[in-house]
Amino acid sequence: MTAPHEGSWVERSERSDFPLENLPYGIFERHGVRHIGVAIGESIFDVHDAAEAGLFDDILARTVLQAPVLNPLLGAGRKVWSELRTRLTDLLRSTTTLLDHLDREKLVVERSGAKMHVPMHAGDYVDFYSSLEHATNLGKIFRPGAEPLMPNWRWLPIGYHGRSSTIVVSGTPVRRPAGQRRPPDAKEPAFGPSQSLDIELEVGFITGPGNEMGTRIPVQRARDHIFGLMLVNDWSARDIQAWEYQPLGPFLGKSFATSVSPWVVTLDALEPYRVRGPQQEPPPLDYLRTKDPWNFDIDLTVELQTSVAHEPVTISRTNFRQMYWNMAQQLAHVTVNGTAVQPGDLYASGTISGPTSDSLGSLIELTWRGTRPIELPGGQSRTFLQDGDTVTIRGVCAHEGKPRIGFGSVSGTILPCD
């Protein structure tokens, strides 16, 4: 069922993730060329071609909006982002006269048939470990009987640098990685395909203008440097990771693939869903203290579909608002030593888990390291992922009286080890 989009001349389904109040950015392919677009209803408004028509000439150069990635726009800064968002909203309103001299239908393509690409070129990728529930669960799994959290966890946002070359857009198949792994009862490691392939339900933020090396980005300035958010699935080979991660942390068990959603939802669109996070004890050091609310009320789900199932099964439901360390604190911590941030860098939250058994963001938690299999329809069960399994993560902000702000989804299907 479709109906005129409330406030827009573009049509939509009743529960579209992308109303006029959202307008997330992505990169889609048209006539063999990568175009910047914004999602509106079940369509994409072609920002590239709209720029060619001169509709943004008083805001920024056409070349910025005709780049094959979002990076030039990300580097343009918050003032330009705000002006561009206002113009796009005006262009897409049902009452607009700004398109009267154009064939507006040529500026819109169907989203369902569009080939999407990773929206930005990520020069750097950082993965955090910022969910109190997730960190506590893994501590209990790996260090039973001991204090679950390491002594530094409540004092700083733990993170590591990942590999940006294997960031892929939703729908890209993920091949099962091979590597060294040592079973608990073995004296020596063996080489072979991962037997404990897992997911990590995450939300990532994309940076805009960076900082010069040797300077910091304080928490009070984070809004000037964060463009928007996207869904992330940071696939993880738990058996490879367990053997390799000490003493320097994750490496080959994490670097083989990171899937991202095709749409970047801006901070401006998410403003109605900004909330305060959990109380932090002990109080953070001065450079990590935030006065403004920096968490966001985003409902998140994980769906698993096996190769023989007719429909996917939802295996987890949680919310991003529960994250202990927020993105302003993460960015301030990343740069406190003077490291340089660039437009398009990706900073992922780390696995997002809630307080209940059905709100956990990874299979290692949901199955308690394989000891509690997930029972699926048709007599199937899972501890970790099998070849042919498809995982889909969805995110949406939806409360009565507020616009529905969706992220779409990020999905990937597991292929056999090569």
Task: State the catalytic residues.
Answer: 134
Let me know: does 198 contact 226? Beta carbons within 8 Å: no
Which residues, including other chains, have CB under 8 Å from residue 5's CB and lie 6 or more apart? 11, 12, 16, 19, 20, 40, 41, 94
Angle at 353 between CA 350 and CA 358, to 5 degrees: 145
Pairing of strands 178-181, 174-175: unpaired
Produce one character per residue of 209-246: b if its CB has 16 or more CB atoms within 10 Å, e if not: bbbeeeebbbbeebeebbbbbbbbbbbbbbbbbbbbee
The span from the CA of 59 to the CA of 77, in Å, is: 12
Beta strand ranges found along 221-298 (DSSP E): 226-233, 236-237, 258-260, 265-266, 274-275, 295-296
For residue 409, the cross-strand partners are: 394
Structural tokens at position 366: 């949901």
> Which residue, 352, 372, 376, 348, is CA-closest to 362?
352
Structural tokens at position 155: 């004092």
> Which residue, 418, 407, 416, is CA-closest to 170?
407
CA 313 to chain centre: 21
- The one-letter code for the residue type at 18 is F
> Which residue, 78, 119, 107, is CA-closest to 8?
107
Pairing of strands 346-348, 201-207: antiparallel
For residue 27, the cross-strand partners are: 36, 117
Let me know: does 227 contact 76? Beta carbons within 8 Å: no
CA 123 to chain centre: 16
